[in-house]
Amino acid sequence: MIDDIEYLSILADHHIKHQVLVHDAFSWTQKWGSIHTFYVKILGSQSIAYSAAALLGKMLEQDAIAIYHPITEDEEDSANFHQYFTIYSDGVVSNEMILQIIKEVCEHFPDLSGQLDISGQLIEFHDFYSTFKGTNKHIEEILNDNFPETFRVETQLSKSTVL
Going by pLDDT thresholds of 50, 70 and 90, the confidence category of residue 80 is: low
Q: Between 63 and 79, whose confidence is greater? A: 63
**Does the pLDDT at position 40 exceed 60?**
yes
**Does the pLDDT at position 85 exceed 70?**
yes
Query: What's residue 108's pLDDT?
Result: 92
Question: Whose CA is closest to 42, among 17, 25, 61, 59?
Answer: 17
Going by pLDDT thresholds of 50, 70 and 90, the confidence category of residue 28 is: low
Query: What's residue 75's pLDDT?
Result: 56
For the stretch 124-161, pLDDT in tens is 888 877 888 889 999 999 999 999 888 899 988 777 66
What architecture (CATH level 2) is domain 74-162?
Answer: 2-Layer Sandwich (3.30)
For the stretch 61-75, pLDDT in tens is 777 766 655 555 555
Q: Between 105 and 46, whose confidence is greater? A: 105
**Does the pLDDT at position 1 exceed 50?**
no
CA pair distance 56, 28, nearest whole angstrom: 18
Q: Where are the domains of the chain?
A: 9-68, 74-162
- What single string gives the DSSP state of each residue in 82-117? EEEEEEEESS---HHHHHHHHHHHHHH-TT-EEEE-
Q: Between 44 and 147, whose confidence is greater? A: 147
Outline where the chain has alpha helix (H). 9-13, 46-60, 95-108, 136-146
Question: Whose CA is closest to 153, among 132, 136, 135, 131?
Answer: 136
The percent of residues in the chain predicted with pLDDT above 90, rounded, is 11
